[in-house]
């Protein structure tokens, strides 16, 4: 096959404890998956209709690298989230079999141009540009489920410049990992290489240039970085 231009490199995330990389297909995200965060955003929770959105696969930032403050915003917000990597996919995956598709877990930040999101919401417009921008998905190395199991009762937290910003237990998620996979598979044909950001707890706030962040999924993964 001859390409009209040179093909792009496949985005990937390191697998902890190995020299392997996890190649990315898509990044899926769920909104309003912690009740306290939904409350702070003035939103209602609908257990019948989870809210999903996407980020481009090449939005990932790996290796605890610096993150460039994005253009077109004056209100960049952090949202710390557990991240799930799929080794296999499919459609209409049953809840009871959903975790069989999980390859690994990590921790990441769903960076958000909050002012763009608010403006879009006020007009009833989609808010893709508020979520799916360059370097909007810093993520830690991935830790294989075959080694750590499936985290269900641990603290997820974020510190900025050494000060606590967000902290909650993942057991309080409204939709569990298995339920998220089940619901996503109703809408998409999930694929190996898909990455899922599973929602953020309360405490989202602004980041500015020079801020250093440390995100942690207790006993699983740590992500560090700096806004530049």
pLDDT tens digits, 155-203: 999 999 999 999 999 999 999 999 999 999 999 999 999 999 999 999 9
Nearest of 205, 125, 198, 195 to residue 165 by alpha carbon:
205
pLDDT band at 43 (very low <50, low <70, confident <90, very high): low
Neighbour-count burial of 76, counting CB atoms closer than 10 A to its CB (0-12 exposed, 13-18 middle, 19+ buried): buried
Alpha-carbon gap, residue 192 to 140, rounded angstroms: 19
Nearest of 190, 193, 154 to residue 173 by alpha carbon:
154
pLDDT tens digits, 106-133: 999 999 999 999 999 999 999 999 999 9
Whether residue 29 contacts residue 53, with contact meaning beta carbons closer than 8 Å, is answered with yes
Percent of the chain's residues with pLDDT above 90: 93
Domains of the chain and CATH, by start? 12-226 (3.90.850.10)
Q: What is the average per-residue pLDDT within 85-103? A: 98
Whether residue 32 contacts residue 201, with contact meaning beta carbons closer than 8 Å, is answered with no
pLDDT band at 48 (very low <50, low <70, confident <90, very high): confident
């Amino acid at each position: 096959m001859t390409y009209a231009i040179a093909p792009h490199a496949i985005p990937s995330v390191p697998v902890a404890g190995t020299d392997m990389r996890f190649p990315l297909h898509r990044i899926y995200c769920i909104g309003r998956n912690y009740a306290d965060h939904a409350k702070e955003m003035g939103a209602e929770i609908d257990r019948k209709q989870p809210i999903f959105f996407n980020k481009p696969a090449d939005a990932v930032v790996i290796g605890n690298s610096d993150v460039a403050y994005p253009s077109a915003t004056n209100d960049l917000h952090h949202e710390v989230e557990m991240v799930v990597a799929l080794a296999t996919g499919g459609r209409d995956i049953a809840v009871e079999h959903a975790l069989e598709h999980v390859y690994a877990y990590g921790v990441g930040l769903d960076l958000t141009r909050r002012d763009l999101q608010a403006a879009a919401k006020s007009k009833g417009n989609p808010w893709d540009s508020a979520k799916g921008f360059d370097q909007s998905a810093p993520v830690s190395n991935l830790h294989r489920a075959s080694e750590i199991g499936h985290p269900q009762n641990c603290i997820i937290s974020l510190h900025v410049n050494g000060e606590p910003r967000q902290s909650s237990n993942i057991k309080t998620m409204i939709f569990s990992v298995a339920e998220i996979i089940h619901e996503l598979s109703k809408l998409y044909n999930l694929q190996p290489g898909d990455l899922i950001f599973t929602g953020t707890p309360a405490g989202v706030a602004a980041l500015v240039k020079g801020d250093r962040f440390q995100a942690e999924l207790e006993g699983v993964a740590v992500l560090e970085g700096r806004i530049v």
